[in-house]
Structure 1
Amino acid sequence: MKKQYLFSHLMGFIEGKVVDGTATPEEEYLYQDYKWYGKINKQSFTYRSLVNQYLNSEY
């Protein structure tokens, strides 16, 4: 069965990584693009990696 997630929760997870200083430069760039332009490239490796990290975390 596929795990499901809310996009808003994923963005909170990414924002937490950025604030904590644990985000990679690519993750920060992805987050900034979302905040500035309201878009996110869901096909990017960085996004998919973050989804995987989120689903495997206790967040």
Structure 2
Amino acid sequence: MLAFEAPDVAEVVDLMRTMRYTEARKYVSEETPFLTGRMITDWLPEFVESLP
């Protein structure tokens, strides 16, 4: 599992597309989809505390 961070999600998408055509790609046996989302820090602690 890899984690990438960028100010704009388009930068991460472009990076993933570029990496598909590298030499290292030959050694990847499965193409795992990647998920994108925003980092949440403001309300996450309160949310975790509210879980049963």
TM-score for the superposition, normalised by structure 2: 0.35
TM-score for the superposition, normalised by structure 1: 0.32
Higher relative contact order, chain-length normalized (CA < 8 Å, sep 6+): 1
Pick the structure with greater CA Rg.
2
